[in-house]
Chain A
Amino acid sequence: MNKLFIYIFLLLNLVLLNSVSGQRFPKPEFEKGHTQPELHQSPPRMLVLEYVDVIVLIVALSIASYLIIKKRSRRGIFWLSVFSLLYFGFYREGCVCSIGAIQNVTLALFNPNYNIPITTILFFILPLIYTLFYGRTFCSGVCPLGAIQDLIVFKPIELKKWTQAVLRIIPYIYLSLSVLYAATASDFIICKYDPFVGFFRLDAKFYMFLLGGGFLISGMFIARPYCRFFCPYGLILNWLSRFSKYHMQITPTTCIQCRLCENSCPFDAIDKPEELNIQTDKIVLIRKYLLLILIIPSLIFIGGYTGRQMNNVLAKVNPTVQLAEEIFRYNIKIKNQKNKLPENIEVEGFKASGKTEKQLFTEASVIIEKFKTGGMLVGGFLGLAIGLMLANLSVYKYRKNYTPNKGECFSCGRCINFCPIKIENNIKIIIKKYEATQ
């Protein structure tokens, strides 16, 4: 009996001592005066450097806009792309880029717990503002992803018009899904499947290298495949650029219809002159518009409905839903086979977190419910996008000259070199004099 008390006393002592010092083995006091090494700190990148990046971005955007609109220099844009590839790509190793910043902005808008850094806001908003004034000069030579693809354009082939039209739907899907997953704090899919960041870091998963390599090799023939058919930020820039104040022009003065630039654009972004072709048959016109009025809302409705029905599939990207499914499957396995199951890291991790299964399942079902609204919005948006694309087919086009398509044009300036009209300073004066006499 006495012994028992002693044991209990010792045990209590141990517990108490433990809680006082927080250590099983107290730190020794060295007699020979050993000095312990300092804690090895690893400070993050200095904040100043983040702001330096923003300044470099502003300077690069300004130079790109100046080069393409005022100076009309393809060579300048080429060297700027080389610089951007080296600085934003290989030196800064990708993050945070303007494309990925879409997700940070969405997360900040939908999730008040996430405080977005100012530098990220600037990386997102600055290229948009420049695009609104000068066209897609960000794409021309500032974006490292654009630069790496632009520099390897080797023998561009022209894609069929309908192939391009179908592929142009992908950015809408990519943008809406990335916004959906960022808004629900599920995943940043743009960053996860960024094909080129692995090259910038010279380190990535094997399948990402495979994907990036695929993009680069196909990019030698299909110019800038990521920019044209995937980039979600490019889609936003595309829409803003259509309303830009200034934009790159192929000819500095008036087009002489020499057709030299006709096939100069590797991205098929030059609109050819088109005859004015007004449909005079009123019945055909009315039928056309009636069809559009019917088609667009029904596409939105079909898209929204399908999106809503697909909420279970869409929600599978969310980590909480994934974990809930994993636990659910594991529980079924336990029920079915009585012998010991192999260790499951997810399940172990969940058990260590101290949450109950019921809590997890309710959380997951709330998220799946949220994806109903999300899926509906995504589907509706896609329906609207496809509808507007269809409507665009029946818009009258009338063009006298070869002009860059303000939405698709990356302002790379290749076509400028094909135009025989060059403005040298003295010629400028001559033209002015000529115009004065007219």
Chain B
Amino acid sequence: MERREFVNKGIRLSLLLSLAGLTGSLLQNTFSDDYVWQIDANKCTQCGRCVTSCILTPSAVKVVHIHDMCGYCDLCGGYFKPETKNLTTGAENQLCPTNAITRTYIEDPFFEYNINEDLCIGCGKCVAGCDAFGNGSLQLQVRHEICVNCNQCAIATDCPADAFKRVPANKPNLFKGFSGEGADFKT
């Protein structure tokens, strides 16, 4: 038994040392902040998989409207279906399948568009419309207050555009043409 104890002690010590070594080598490549998942809006193709691939229902991916980039158009490519004749808020005219975008009259000829994130399912139809006909002020982003921050994001594995990234939690957005902090633009 004496000998067994001695061997055990030796193995225990060497295991502890190797754990310390492992921690040491990990610490060289460490990062005091946390990671969160985000969509790189530059890569996103609005394929619509964010709706179904997220482990949450509805998805943690929502459309974010960057008003700084919006042209406040009457004929909004993100709001109306392309074949729309009368620019009214009728359901048959709306691109959004869940009526998550509200259109409010501001002054002639400007309209403001706001997202109701509780209704948005993250399908990106409006994003595609705004990209095609407008300024691209509607962009899909992961909303971190909803996202449970899975160790492996299920959408990231399914994303055909490889647009999902781990980003540092202190810079949690990846907008296209917009830094996300102030009213500055990048082209």
Contacts and interface: CB of A to CB of B under 8 A. Distances in A.
A, B co-complexed: yes
Interface of A: 19-28, 30-32, 34, 36-37, 39-45, 47, 50, 93-97, 100-101, 103-105, 108-109, 112, 114-119, 121, 125, 128-129, 132, 187-188, 191-192, 198, 201, 203-205, 240, 243-245, 319, 345-346, 348-350, 352-353
Contact of B19 (A45, A104, A125): A125
Contacts of B30: 115-118, 121
B49 A43 contact: no
Contacts of A37: 67, 112, 114
A121 B23 contact: yes
Interface string B100-118: 0000001100101011010
Nearest to A38: B67
Contacts of B152: 100, 103, 187-188, 191-192
B134 A243 contact: no
A345 B49 contact: yes
A93 B146 CA distance: 12
B128 interface: no
Contacts of A31: 107
A235 to B, nearest CB: 15
Contacts of B112: 34, 36-37
A171 B186 CA distance: 50
Interface string B1-38: 00000001001100110010011011101111111100
Contact of A345 (B27, B29, B47, B56): B47
Contacts of B57: 203
A192 B145 CA distance: 22
A59 to B, nearest CB: 20
B186 A22 contact: yes
Contacts of B186: 22
B64 A117 contact: no
A188 to B, nearest CB: 4
Contacts of A319: 157, 162
A28 B73 CA distance: 9
B19 A128 contact: yes
A405 to B, nearest CB: 15
Contacts of A352: 43, 45, 161
A260 B74 CA distance: 82
A20 B185 CA distance: 10
B160 A348 contact: yes
Interface residues of B, number: 70
Nearest to B11: A243
CB-based closest 6 A-B pairs: A25-B71, A349-B160, A115-B31, A188-B152, A44-B144, A22-B187
A353 B162 CA distance: 8
Contacts of A43: 144-145, 172
Contacts of B22: 105, 125
A240 B15 contact: yes
Contact of A25 (B64, B67, B134): B134
Contacts of A109: 25-26
A36 B68 contact: yes
Contacts of B73: 25
Contacts of A128: 19
Contacts of B110: 28, 30, 34
Nearest to B25: A109
Contact of B34 (A21, A50, A129, A187): A50
A348 B173 CA distance: 25
A23 B72 CA distance: 12
A116 B134 contact: no
A43 B23 CA distance: 30
Among B31, B32, B107, B166, chain A packs the most CB atoms within 10 A around the CB of B31
10 contacts: A24-B135, A27-B70, A37-B114, A41-B173, A119-B34, A187-B152, A205-B55, A243-B12, A350-B160, A353-B162
B44 to A, nearest CB: 9
A121 B23 CA distance: 7
A345 B160 CA distance: 7
B149 A95 contact: yes
Contacts of B145: 42-43
Contact of B151 (A34, A36, A96, A115): A96
Nearest to B7: A243
B8 to A, nearest CB: 5
B81 interface: no
Contacts of B114: 37
A244 B149 contact: no
Nearest to A319: B157
Contact of B162 (A25, A112, A349): A349
Contact of A188 (B12, B43, B151): B151
Contact of A44 (B31, B64, B172): B172
